[in-house]
Structure 1
Amino acid sequence: MFRDDDLALLTRPLYAFLTVAPKADRWPAPRPVWFEVTDGGDLQMFSVQGAPKLARLREQPRASVVVASPTGEPERWVAAEGPVTLHDDGGLELATRLAGRYYGPLDADQQKLLDDWRETGVVRIVLRPEKVSRFAI
């Protein structure tokens, strides 16, 4: 579903803003997440065990993400929405790989964060895009 020009944006170390269904008394609240595009065209993210977004995704396994170009570049964004699956396998490996993508070589504080995630447990979130929207100037 992603075009080559979408992938040019999505393969950069930019934040995706993940939106899940909110609790009944709350508004949707997007959260910045690290992500990658799989070879099959899905979006993979992760979260630590116990995060509220995981409970909401278990109740309603659908989400959307949007990724935008940074300030100072021509305006461009890609949004995807679709069903989500949660996986207990591969979460820590994904988090480690994305830490390298977003941080580069890890300093002591960043390594401690990965160690904390290892202790807490990491869930891999996979969004299969059913609809993709885009805009570019």
Structure 2
Amino acid sequence: MSTLTAHDIEFLQRPLHGFLSVAATPLPPQPRPVWFEATAAGTIELFTDPDSPKVGRLERDPRASLVVAAPATERERWLSISGRTTVEPGGAPELVERLAARYWDLDDPARARALDELRAGTWLRIVLHPERVSRLDF
């Protein structure tokens, strides 16, 4: 299946880490944990530093995949989403704000300071356009 279902979106709205792999690399894929957001349009968005190696790799080959799994304390469930990406200059600061609020307790002074540091950064938005979605839920 190539699209995310309503059940998938509900799962992806939880503050789970995704593991992103990009295609253009001289080594086997090296997944990295990332914060992400599933959008109403059916895409997945994340942010990254413009100097991140993944930006150059995605410019050479825009294919990527994201794997998201439920915690080990729950029934087994995972999604694997692969497709082409676009790297967007706009919308990243707003995405940083939404994701920080989703993943962190911003009443914690240490997390609030960390968000201030993120706000001071320069970010790009990566949009993953699903072409293939695999799932397991039992």
With the length of structure 2 as denominator, give the TM-score of the two structures: 0.91
Please give the secondary structure, in 1, of the residue aligned with 2:15: coil
Structure 2 contact 21–29 (Cα < 8 Å) conserved: yes
| Structure 1 residues 53 and 59: CA distance shift in structure 2, 3 A | same
How many correspondences in the alignment? 136
Aligned to 1:74: 75
Aligned to 1:123: 124
Structure 1 contact 22–29 (Cα < 8 Å) conserved: no
Query: Is the aligned partner of 1:19 residue 2:26?
Result: no
* 1:3, distance to aligned residue in structure 2 (A): 1.5
* 1:39, distance to aligned residue in structure 2 (A): 1.0
Structure 2 contact 43–127 (Cα < 8 Å) conserved: yes
Q: Which runs of 5+ in 1 are unaligned?
A: none
Q: CA RMSD in A?
A: 1.4
With the length of structure 1 as denominator, give the TM-score of the two structures: 0.91
Q: Name the CA distance, whole Å, in 1 between partners of 2:45 and 2:25.
A: 23
Identity of counterpart residues, as a percentage?
Answer: 43
Query: Is the aligned partner of 1:90 residue 2:99?
Result: no
Please give the secondary structure, in 2, of the residue aligned with 1:78: strand
Q: Name the CA distance, whole Å, in 1 between partners of 2:50 and 2:120.
A: 10
Structure 1 contact 19–28 (Cα < 8 Å) conserved: yes
Q: Name the CA distance, whole Å, in 2 between partners of 1:30 and 1:81.
A: 13
